Structure 1
Amino acid sequence: TLQAPLALPATGAVQLRVEVSERDDAGRRPVEVHSRPDGDGTGAPWTCPATGVLASDGPSPYSWDPRVWPPTGAVSVDADDLDPSLAALGYQYGPAFQGAQSVWKLGDEVYAEVVLPQ
């Protein structure tokens, strides 16, 4: 689950810390991703932009075969329409998150090939 965007500085780096907890009774392991700006020692607080769960069995997290790209049956759509469509829904991202090169739709799901700016 994405809780907040992972902020990338214009220059420098970001420290990442991934914490995997003990298995629960169902055999799942909670996971948390923490980040903070690099370079100022331990003074910057850690934030948690994402959480998740690791499981060794159960249904696939994918509704498609991740070995097949683009997903079978997906329809190509104009990549230039993606950012304005997301903005109309309230998702307004900066240039670092606007690098969609190719976009496909399969039902209500959207798949994209994204290239980050230099």
Structure 2
Amino acid sequence: MTGRLSLRTHPWLAGHAVGGVVLLPGTAFAELALHAGESVGCDHVDELTLHTPLVIPEVGDVTLQVAIAAPDESGRRMMTIHSRGEGGSGGADASASAWTRHAAGVLSPAKDDDTASYELLAGPWPPVGATPVDLNTAYDQMADAGFAYGLAFQGLRAAWRYGDDILVEARLPEEVSGDAAAYGLHPALLDAALQGTGLLSVAGPGTPVVPHVWNGLRFRTHGAVSVRACLSTLGATGAAVCVRITDDTG
């Protein structure tokens, strides 16, 4: 599968700048993997590891390539995501003809998942006992940490502490909400939900966490404009985060 990205065709990507450089968010790689997997009957991402950041140039296009291998005996497929810049009048430099591998992973057919773990998000909201978190300076703190989020990525609307977990509510800003139906889950919306990880002890206040390994990723519905999410640390070190997300209907 092939495609193109640029700030001309996807201007909302300019809102994901890290250290002054526009990078394709990890959530976009997740979207690519899920979309590609669904096309071959493998709508479950067993694993997706990000290797190299994908820089979106100020001028010119980036060509994407998602390659999926033949299935093994269990139906699982290996997958890679590569990109290269486009030379010539597009503005990319002459060395942009080489392909760069950004991600690799494993896709598999759908699995039976435990829906009981989503009851919290589908019930009364916020749940009884949840303590509100003040987000008035959240994006200022993220900017101080080097994450200059544009309006498209400023979708984090509310957050609560609920025991050891963080509950968040995120909504696509109006400027990109019309594109929601074109995605399984708009990368800017998923990114906004993940911004709540900065409230977990794994990060510390105001420090966003950039996911580089995804496991057990699956879409049950598509095109959400707003979501609720529960973020939980996993393991003794808390270096991994479990993310459960629902739309407004649960």
Give the TM-score normalised by the residue count of structure 1: 0.58
In 2, the alpha carbon distance for the partners of 1:87 and 1:28 equals 42
Greater displacement, 26-35 / 36-45: 36-45
In the alignment, is residue 81 of structure 1 matched against residue 138 of structure 2?
A: yes
CA positional deviation for 1:94 = 5.7
Instruction: Summarize deviations over 1:29-80 as a string: whole Å, max 9, x none.
Output: 11101001123588621111112222113245xxx77xxxxx5467886385
In 1, the alpha carbon distance for the partners of 2:137 and 2:155 equals 8
Aligned twin of 1:45: 98
CA contact (8 A) 1:18 1:34 kept: yes
2:110 to 33, 53, 57: 57
In 2, the alpha carbon distance for the partners of 1:110 and 1:79 equals 23
% identical equivalent positions: 27
CA positional deviation for 1:87 = 7.5
CA positional deviation for 1:82 = 5.9
Aligned-partner SS, 1:107: strand
Residue type matched to 2:86 in 1? D
Indicate how the Cα distance of structure 1 residues 47 and 79 shifts in structure 2: closer, same or farther if over 3 A, else same. farther
Indicate how the Cα distance of structure 1 residues 80 and 51 shifts in structure 2: closer, same or farther if over 3 A, else same. farther
Residue type matched to 1:12 in 2? G
Aligned twin of 1:32: 80
Aligned twin of 1:68: none
Residue type matched to 1:34 in 2? H
In 2, the alpha carbon distance for the partners of 1:24 and 1:14 equals 31
Aligned twin of 1:20: 68
1:107 to 231, 235, 241: 231
Aligned residues: 102
Residue type matched to 1:27 in 2? G
Q: Give unpaired runs (5+ residues) of structure 1.
A: 66-70, 112-118
What RMSD over aligned residues (CA atoms) do the two structures have, in Å?
Answer: 4.1
In 2, the alpha carbon distance for the partners of 1:17 and 1:55 equals 19
CA positional deviation for 1:107 = 3.2
Aligned twin of 1:116: none
The structure that is helix-richer by fraction is 2
Give the TM-score normalised by the residue count of structure 2: 0.31
**Higher RCO (CA-CA < 8 Å; seq separation 6+):** 2
CA contact (8 A) 1:79 1:100 kept: no
CA positional deviation for 1:85 = 5.8
In the alignment, is residue 11 of structure 1 matched against residue 59 of structure 2?
A: yes
In 1, the alpha carbon distance for the partners of 2:155 and 2:57 equals 23
CA contact (8 A) 1:79 1:101 kept: no
